[in-house]
Amino acid sequence: MTENKETIIERAEGAVLHTYNRYPLVLEKGEGVYLYDTEGKQYLDFAAGIAVQALGYHYPGYDEALKAQIDKLLHTSNLFYNVPAMEAAEKLVKASGMSKVFFTNSGTEAIEGALKTARKYAWLKDKREDHEIIAMKHSFHGRSMGALSVTGNEAYQAPFRPLVGGIRFAEYNNLESVRAQITEKTCGIILETIQGEGGIYPATEEFLKGVKALCEEHDLLLILDEIQCGMGRAGHMFAWQEYGVKPNVMTCAKALGCGVPVGAFVLDEKAAAASLAPGDHGTTYGGNPFACAAVSAVFDLFAENGIVDHVREVGDYLSGKLDELVRQYDFIAERRGRGLMQGLAFQGRPVGEIVVKSQEMGLLVITAGNNVLRLVPPLIIEKKHVDEMLDKLTRALF
Ligand SMILES: *Cc1c(COP(=O)(O)O)cnc(C)c1O
């Protein structure tokens, strides 16, 4: 028997470390693009577990693939080969046109691997032990020490100093500010192709191309964090594909496993040829058969069902509707985003209240950055779900 909501919340707070101020909702099950709480209330899901559940809940073929793998083998360690990891890596290589994959368990671990790759690449050239990495202000790359060190958010960093050294911050979408941070010690530049947590800011084409050119000029590794904007969300399998700017290192997580915890960092030929070697990096769980069966199924289901094309179509529809809201309401300053990664910047109205009101209306949305309402639904939503979201959101606004 399910206990009542208050008891569950009380017991959770009694045992789980309070590092999140959670909404007082206890989610129990999902179906399609809807979630249900323990009281049976239905929510249209425009949060997708923070851009994770790209295929929603119980997408045909997904659960079956996981169940089949459970019946075979969950884990082996990286001391041996396994078929799901081989297949998942091949699919990620093919989708990205890059060269080699290292699977992790999370986004932040993928960032750690990317940072180590950049340092090793440069170390092999000059044996310096003081290499620097350029990161962006208002970025988000994760909570482990390396990823936190490149996360341009003072509040997240302050209590944990000293952080990893040799990080210099530049301004996103300001090429001159990046150029100004380059020294003879620089080994890499890391940025999100579309800043997510920072408030949904897509890179401008001029900026991304400019950063790539700087990397080529100085032989630095360009690390693009695609953890949130990748896997079809921005209307391309990887957001950088829209710009035609290929990174040397790409990080993935979130929707990579569509609910199974898994991440990856992916190297192009140049980075793969001269960086991490046996003994340099490892993980016990990373790339285990279960997680990789999920990744493999996700790539297959994306291809079979034309998910990326679908994102462009529904994304255009969503963008159009959101632009109407911007025109209609003074308290919405602008819309930013690509595909099904959209943000509405509010002014003069706290977005936190709108999130809570939306929940009452049966809609899950989240926030980002400075008073931005973030819409990152499952990629399988239809136009009718956009309409339903707008209906609920509009009622939450008044
Ligand atoms: C969520 C996120 C991360 C961190 O991923 P975790 O799996 O939470 O460690 C890193 N970068 C970006 C862009 C993210 O959105």
Ligand 1 center from residue 227 Cα (angstroms): 6
Q: Does 242 sit in the ligand 1 pocket, CB within 6 Å? A: no
| DSSP secondary structure letter of residue 382 | -
Ligand 1 binding pocket includes 142 (Cβ within 6 Å): yes
SS3 289: helix
- Ligand 1 contacts CB of residue 112 (under 6 A): no
Kindly give the number of the ligand 1 atom that is closest to the alpha carbon of 144.
9
DSSP string for residues in 150-200: T-B-HHHHGGG-S--S-EEEE-TT-HHHHHTT--TTEEEEEEESEE-TTT-
Helix extents (H) in the chain:
5-15, 48-51, 62-72, 83-96, 107-126, 145-149, 154-157, 175-179, 205-218, 240-243, 269-273, 289-304, 307-328, 351-360, 383-397
What value, to the nearest 5°, has the Cα angle with vertex 35 and ends 23 and 235?
100
Residue nearest to atom 6 of ligand 1 (CA): 107
User: Of 328, 325, 313, whose CA–CA distance to 365 is shortest?
Assistant: 325
In ligand 1, the atom with minimum distance to the C-alpha of 225 is 13
Our answer on whether the CB atom of 113 is closer than 6 Å to any ligand 1 atom is: no
Residue type, 349: R
- Please classify residue 53 by burial: count the beta carbons closer than 10 Å to its beta carbon, then call 0-12 exposed, 13-18 middle and 19+ buried: buried
Minimal-distance CA residue to ligand 1 atom 11? 141
Q: What spacing in Å lies between the alpha carbon of 228 and ligand 1's midpoint? A: 7
Pocket perturbation via mutation, ligand 1, pick of 141, 172, 224 by most ligand atoms within 8 A of CB:
141
Query: In which residue are the tokens 């632009």 written?
Result: 323
Distance from C-alpha of 355 to C-alpha of 302, rounded to nearest angstrom? 30
3-state secondary structure of 226: coil
Pocket flag, ligand 1, residue 228 (CB < 6 Å)? yes
106 lines ligand 1 (CB under 6 A): yes
Model pTM?
Answer: 0.98
Length of the chain: 398
- CB of 369 within 6 A of ligand 1: the answer is no
CA distances from 153 to 107, 149, 160, 163, 207 (A): 17, 9, 12, 13, 21
**Nearest residue by C-alpha to atom 7 in ligand 1:** 107
Question: Which CA distances in Å does 288 have to 25, 163, 282, 296, 373?
Answer: 32, 30, 12, 12, 35
pLDDT value of position 2: 67
CA of 49 to the centre of ligand 1 (A): 12
Task: Tell me if residue 271 falls in helix, strand or coil.
Answer: helix
For the CA of 142, the closest atom of ligand 1 is 4
Check residue 80 and give its pLDDT.
Answer: 97
Measured from the Cα of 106, ligand 1's closest atom is 7
**What pLDDT is stored for residue 1 in this prediction?**
54
Closest approach atom of ligand 1 to CA 111? 10
Q: Whose CA is nearest to atom 5 of ligand 1?
A: 107
Measured in Å, residue 107 CA sits from the centre of ligand 1 at 5
3-state secondary structure of 255: helix
Residue 345: which H helix or E strand, with range?
strand 341-346
Distance from the alpha carbon of residue 54 to the mean position of ligand 1, in angstroms:
15
342 CA to centre of ligand 1 in angstroms: 17
**pLDDT 10s per residue in the chain (398 long)?**
568 999 999 999 999 999 999 999 999 999 999 999 999 999 999 999 999 999 999 999 999 999 999 999 999 999 999 999 999 999 999 999 999 999 999 999 999 999 999 999 999 999 999 999 999 999 999 999 999 999 999 999 999 999 999 999 999 999 999 999 999 999 999 999 999 999 999 999 999 999 999 999 999 999 999 999 999 999 999 999 999 999 999 999 999 999 999 999 999 999 999 999 999 999 999 999 999 999 999 999 999 999 999 999 999 999 999 999 999 999 999 999 999 999 999 999 999 999 999 999 999 999 999 999 999 999 999 999 999 999 999 999 98
